[in-house]
A = this chain, B = another copy of it.
């Protein structure tokens, strides 16, 4: 609830929720700020589709008002390690500023576009996304200038925007290290055993420990001095 000139307003926000630890933490921060959350999870043909199960658990833990799972077959349009048409790189040297084959063209543009559609329909002006431009894989659609450009687009491409309204694309983790994100989440009482990060889990769902996502997660927990509950 937000108090504005003495009136209490329900403040709705759409949360892009993947089931990873970043979007979980972004959602928890939004909840802390009093937003009523509407969580959107996209199945786009990713090979690590088990993150959907994690998204359901995380949505439940965040007590979202509604959780919608949508499917769009991006795998029929694009080639990426994450959509099964390229090998998932392992033991890569992080921080080399090369965009890896796990990049999925325009994925965040597609996700934000769908979140925008829902936000406008809900009358929500805020969209939360857990992108991070520090401990990340170098994807261009995780950078602050991309987020700002989407905000501008959202104002121009909607009924609300045409009427003078605006949409805020809130990326509270964008300049945080993975360790800082984890510390923040732990301080909020989050249970990271609910999350899934690995791009190439075995049939048991166990993390491979060698893909970018596993490496970034491991480095974050190590730097935070916290044990990853997924590792038993």
Contact = CB atoms under 8 A, between A and B. Distances in A.
Contacts of A99: 159, 162
A68 B77 contact: yes
A50 to B, nearest CB: 22
At the interface, is chain A mostly helix, strand, loop or mixed? helix
Interface in A58-84: 68, 70-74, 76-79
A108 B153 CA distance: 11
Interface in A74-133: 74, 76-79, 99, 103-110, 112-114, 116-118, 120-121
Contacts of A146: 153, 156-157
A169 to B, nearest CB: 11
Given A68-B77, A76-B68, A149-B153, A105 B140 contact: no
Interface residues of A, number: 44
Given A70-B72, A72-B72, A157 B78 contact: no
B141 A149 contact: no
A121 B156 CA distance: 27
Interface of A: 40, 68, 70-74, 76-79, 99, 103-110, 112-114, 116-118, 120-121, 140-141, 143, 145-146, 149-150, 152-154, 156-159, 161-162
Given A71-B71, A105-B117, A106-B158, 6 more contacts: A106-B154, A107-B117, A113-B113, A140-B158, A141-B156, A149-B153
